[in-house]
Structure 1
Amino acid sequence: MLVTAVPLAGAAVFRVLAARVGEIAGPGFAVHELRVRLDAPAQGGEVDIGRLRIGAREWRALTLRCGRLRIDAGGLACNAARMEQGGRRLPFEADVDLALGAGPVRIALRLPDGGRIEAGTEADGRLRARLHRLTPAAAADLLEPWLGDLAAGLRGFKATGVLDAELDYRPADAGATTASLRGRLAGGGFGRADGLLAAEGVGADFTLEARSTGAVWSWSAQLDWDAGAAYIHPLLVEAGPRLRARGRFDGRRIELERAELALDGLAAASARGVIDTAAGTPDALSIELAGADLARIGPRWLAPLLAPASAQRLRFEGRADARVELRAGRLETLAVELHGAGFGLAPPLGGGSARGDDGKEVVPVEVLALGPVDGRVRWSSRGPGAAALQVGGGRWEKLALGAFALDAALEPAGLRLAGARIPLLDGTLVLQDLALGWSAAGWEGSGGVVLEPVSMPLLSEALGLPLMAGVMSAALPGLQFGPGELVLDGTLAVSVFGGWLQASGLRVREPFGVASHLTAEIEARHIDLAQLTETFSFGSITGHIDADVRGLELSNWRPAAFDARIASIAGDERRRISQRAVENISALGGGGALAAVQRSVLRLFETFGYRELGLRCRLANGVCEMGGLDAEPDGGVRADGGFTIVRGGGIPALDVIGYNRRVDWNELVARLQRVVAEDVSPTID
């Protein structure tokens, strides 16, 4: 050590004392190029440190401007010091007590927000440190000179909270080095600008114990999270989890010998594996879950991952066990066992609710439900897997499904289902060659669907429709679906009212969403009007009709656009129409549809003969443009501007004429509902 002194003029008193020390070293730290300047009268001074090493980290060009500086043969003490690095002032005051040789070192940092950091070493190399009410903002300011962009990134998270912790490090004693860390985080929180990561009010206790007899550390840790919540997109995680873990660390990899997690809804959860600290990803990780209560963990953990857009509508029940294996940060295998599991999809939020006779709100029936489900699923990224499930039943809207089995071959990016038969009322829904695949856009696939005949009386009752005779069947060999869209390449056929109806070109977007949209082409042939009008209490009409609905569009399952035509067909021997049917058709066609002389005839006869009938509605923008037998909506051949709906035949001759060519669609539907609901004989004036 080199010491120089500068005396005061005319007196034997030293004003400035300067000292330089090449190196001071102790357990875990070293000071190089130490220069001290003591201003004796002011009791202050400066300490310059060329290089400071603590552990493996090194800092350069540090300066302490001491409010009080003491230096003697044993060392130096610098109190109430401002600290600078490279001319930049650091945001704290420091007290430093540094002994020369192997003596103790004491450092205390006082932060602007009231936090404190205290650390010290003993002659035997023991290091103890304490953090008292350290805030994230103070930590970022403290670390910015050394962490640079990382510290700035911490500020970007707008972290809050206070940390209290104690560290105790003991160097090799009887061949073992030990370290312990204990602390608590209170009022913790953070938020990212995009809203995908956030936390508030987080409180947790933590401990870490480590022991080393060489280059490898054995460690154990625990974390008790008892307050607050965090959102890690798409999961909302609330306080309650408790973690216990133990393992080994060699400086490059963390070997997780066993970790146990206590979580609400899980009987047991454990993990083991190896984590590459440089990459920050697991080289290998195995996770086991036992006795998972799906009703409790499903809404919180499964729904946001499986269907984020519909998470609040998913319902779960039953139990499950699972095993997950990851390698190099990627999912490698997944094994799941289901025990009495149930899954449901509730109606879209905001879709309204019904009320019972007592005025209480009735919980809407689930759109889709399956269960109980028992079986196993085995998937691997390296090769084929399998799924074997027994489903006790289910429901789609109000359609009940019977028990069925699903046996699928699983592939790394999808599955194949050779076939499945699902009972539907008194028929069967048959799935054929179903293939599903996962891409970045979501699930997509293809297959075929056959609906073996289902009786219309059962189907109409299940759907809450008027009782209809006949059967429904379908053959859809070219089903295609992708994210939010279902395309049916084939024909849906219904045998009903003595004729048949078929739909083709079916395409559905967001079938279970709040903005569902369907398009299709529909044609009906040889429909028996006697059966149709009897079913819907419309009056009585005999004869047969054909119907075509082109460009059908349903928005949220309500008609938005179509071009529909109805026309009687030739060949019927008897065509009759009742008083009530005449009045109801007149109501649909608008006021004044019957001439006064014809109204007088209605008083005398129950039924009338007719030669032909026809009606057209072209719906667009909520308005139905009406037409009949002899007129298009954009023009007509009648001098009075009307259009003929029914052309009379026989004696007496009776025509039904419509005059209102533009009818509000909602009003037209309301008229039709009133006509069907009233079910009374008309009053003829």
Structure 2
Amino acid sequence: MVLLSLPVAASALGTLALSVDRIEHPGFGLQGLQFSFPVGGRASLSIARLRVADRHWRNVRLDCAHGSLDATVVRCTDGVFRLPGLPHPLQISFRLDLATRAGTFAIGTPDGTRLTARLPGDGSVRAKVIGLDLAALPTWLPVLKPWSPTGRFDGELLWHPTRMLELTGRLSGGAFGSADGLHAAEKLALDVRVDAVLKSGRWDWIAELGWREGAAYLHPFFVEAGPSLHAHGQLRPGVLEVHEASVMLEGVEQLAASARINLATGMPDRLSVALAGADLAIVGPRWLAPLVAPAAGERLRFAGRVSGALEFEGVHLRALDAVFDEAGVSLAGGDGGPGLAFGPLSGHVPWRHGLPTRGELQIGGGRWQKLALGAFDLGVSIDERSIRVDRVRIPLLDGALVFGETVLNAGSEGWVGKGSLVIEPVSMRLLTDALDLPSMSGVLSGSIPGLRASPGEVVLDGTTVVSVFDGYLRATGLRVLEPFGVGSHLTADIEARHLDLEQLTETFSFGTITGFVDADVRRLELVRWRPVGFDARVSSSPGRYPRRISQRAVQNISALGGPGAMAAIQRSLLGFFDTFGYREIGLGCVLKSGVCEMSGIGDGAEAGRFVIVSGGGIPALDVIGYNRRVDWRELVERLQRVIEGNAAAEVR
């Protein structure tokens, strides 16, 4: 509707002037119009206030090369319209009948954009735009300025504010880019169509969008042309209803959404999203890999299908369903060899706000490097703020990992989990071969009776026992802070009993030592998984058993002790024997401030001198150290050289 007020119409010698208080239309509004028609056919127009949609300007001016006023009909031909903020004036021609509200408009820009509009007089608008330069849009819509849009748009609009709206158009050569480089697109071609009909105070609408050409990077996703959107719904005062919006996407049978959007806040009051039959081999590399492992996307492989649904009220999730059908993922090793694999996975996991649910999953197994896990089933009970995982036995080589019932509870600071783990006996030879470690004999078994995990912390309650080298390791007070962060911190006390030295030394090619040792590591502290403090001691286990040490082991122990260590036997005699008897082995280290304070058998009463190996039997020898303070990094490097067989033993 157009409202007119003509309070003043006056003439003066050689000039005709006309004042209009205001003109109101759903698409634009004008206040304080002053028309001036000097003799000679020229005309000028000044507007105190101009509104186009939601944009407002003050004191704008139009100069017409040819203008006229004929009764209620105003004409302007070859007009130049200057608007504050526009880099170039607009070229305008129009004819407006102030009585019938009918007219025509034509607007052009120096870059070739042309807009024509016809007002039939019934309040409707028929408009056509050719070559609209998107680079000019930020002038009218400042919200677009950070995106630097380019491209051209051609389209047609038919709008009757009380009956209907039809919009069709095509964007070609479109592009945009954000200042941070995280979002960009080029060579875009989009087709758009919107149809709406006003019924009983609401607009019933249908919209279609087709992406024909180009590509976009929307961090972290790279998307190419192909997807299309079809949506329909209703528009009521303050509310946009999306009854269904379906997206045609490669590799997906159906992707649909519905929503109720509060136009005052721009946020959905209700949102539902449903995904059906997504082929992971297609959608995985494009949509999942950038999220889970962007740096290793080329090595990720996906298989199977997945479906799901989400329901939100405001920002709160109210329901979730995830359905897996032979789904699986694998990550090839950096050298192209075996890496990580999981699946196939099948089953259904539901969740409902305020209601208990039950999920069942069948997992075909997994693999890490050469270490394979067998198939197992997983049962999950889900409540509003807790997840309970049933006891599960996961086959591992010739043994198994048995997880007791695991419970996750949501707390004020995040999820907190409790559980337990038993390692059923696994062949150390099979395990070390699968992990490409030095081959070990014996079996590995263990028990972790209490495991607690919370955001940034993992704690083992009670005592953790692991059987290895025919003895056992026992850990107490094990606590890990930020296990996956840059500031990881571990503390624990560890004791080992009756470890078979022959198995141990044979495993690491250290030479051969028969017998057994006990070890204690008190106040162990690791920062970023590197030792910064502990009080450790290794000594012969009590009891009667063969105690022999090979010549190579003697040389390596001497090399480990550095220049201050020596074998108390003549070099000439050392060459005559392959093994020697010993009575006791003892070595201690207190690590503090990067320095290891060394000690040996007994209390080390002699200043600077400590015995590492005490001789016994025939022939016998002692290995003695003299340098009690050793740099920790140097000691580790010596051990690495000894294991690698590169140590040059110093025997004196």
- The answer, yes or no, to whether TM exceeds 0.5 is yes
1:671 aligns with 2:619: no
Q: Deviations over 1:197-231 (max 9, x none)?
A: 65555442222122335523222211122312142
Which SS does the other structure have where 1:581 is aligned?
helix
Give 1:588 shift. 1.9
2:432 touches 2:438 (CA, 8 Å); kept in 1? yes
2:531 & 2:287 partners in 1: Cα distance?
38
Change (3 A) 1:459 1:534: same
**CA–CA separation in structure 2 for the residues paired with 1:579 and 1:656:** 12
Letter in 1 for 2:638: L
TM-score, normalised relative to structure 1? 0.81
SS at match of 1:540: coil
Cα 1:525–1:21 change in 2 (3 A) is closer
Change in Cα spacing, 1:601 to 1:106, as seen in structure 2 (3 Å) is same
Equivalent residue, structure 1, for 2:164: 177
Structure 1: distance between partners of 2:253 and 2:622? 77
Aligned with 2:517 (options 532, 545, 551): 545
Matched AA of 2:153: D
Given the alignment, which residue of 149, 160, 174 partners 1:187?
Answer: 174
Question: 3-state DSSP class of the match of 1:106?
Answer: strand
Contact 2:476 2:494 in 1 (8 A): yes
Gaps of 5+ in 2: 1-5
1:637 matched residue in structure 2: 606
Compute the displacement of 1:674 (Å): 3.1
Partner of residue 277, structure 1: 263
- Distance in 2 (CA, whole Å) between partners of 1:346 and 1:302 is 16
Q: Percent identity?
A: 43
1:217 paired with 2:214, answer no
Q: Closer, same or farther in 2 for the Cα pair 1:413/1:183, shift >3 Å?
A: farther
Query: 1:365-413 deviations in whole A, cap 9, x for unaligned?
Result: 22xx421111101111232222110111123554322211111111234
Where does structure 1 lack aligned partners over 5 or more consecutive residues? 8-13, 144-150, 348-352, 354-360
Return closer, same or farther for 1:105/1:91 CA change in 2, 3 Å cut-off. farther
Q: CA RMSD in A?
A: 3.9
String of CA shifts for 1:461-481, please: whole Å, max 9, x gaps: 333344444433333233122
User: Structure 1 residues 549, 676: closer, same or farther in 2, change over 3 A?
Assistant: farther
The structure 2 residue matched to 1:387, chosen from 334, 359, 365, is: 359
Task: Give the conservation status (yes or no) of the 8 Å contact 2:215–2:222.
Answer: no
Contact 1:83 1:94 in 2 (8 A): no
Shift of 1:545: 1.8
1:475 correspondence with 2:447: yes
Once the two structures are superposed, what CA deviation does each residue of 1:529-581 show, in whole Å capped at 9, x if it has no partner? 34433444433333332112334456776666654321124433643323332
DSSP-derived class of the 2:430 partner: helix
Q: Distance in 2 between matches of 1:515 and 1:315?
A: 32
Shift in CA distance, 206/36, structure 1 to aligned 2, threshold 3 Å: same
Change (3 A) 1:177 1:493: closer
CA contact under 8 A between 1:472 and 1:493: conserved in structure 2?
A: no
1:362 matched to 2:336 = yes
TM alignment of 1:331-480, pairs within 5 A: 331-344=317-330, 353=334, 361-363=335-337, 365-366=339-340, 369-396=341-368, 398-437=370-409, 443-480=415-452
Contact 2:303 2:329 in 1 (8 A): yes
Q: 1:267 aligns with which of 253, 271, 274?
A: 253
Instruction: Say whether 1:655 aligns with 2:644.
Output: no
Kept after mapping to 2: 8 A contact 1:62/1:83: no
Give the match for residue 3 of structure 2.
none
State how far apart, in whole Å, the 2-side matches of 1:582 and 1:57 are: 89
**CA distance in structure 2 between the aligned counterparts of 1:168 and 1:498, rounded to whole angstroms:** 84
> In the alignment, residue 215 of structure 2 is paired with which amino acid?
G
- The aligned residue for residue 611 of structure 1 is 583
Q: 1:589 to 1:489 in 2, by over 3 A?
A: same
TM-score, reference length from structure 2: 0.84
Match of 1:4 among 3, 10, 23: 10
Displacement of 1:509 after TM fit? 5.5
| Equivalence for 2:543 | 571
Aligned to 1:140: 138
Asked if 1 retains the 8 angstrom alpha-carbon contact of 2:560 and 2:638, the reply is: yes
Query: 584-593 vs 402-411, which deviates more?
Result: 584-593
Deviations 1:623-675 (A, max 9, x none): 7554433577xxx725xx55321122344442112345536145313322234
**SS of 1:539 mapped into structure 2:** coil
Match of 1:107 in 2: 105
Per-residue CA distance 1:141-181 (angstroms, 9 max, x = gap): 235xxxxxxx3x433x2422134132322549xx9534223
- For residue 4 of structure 1, what is the amino acid of its counterpart? A
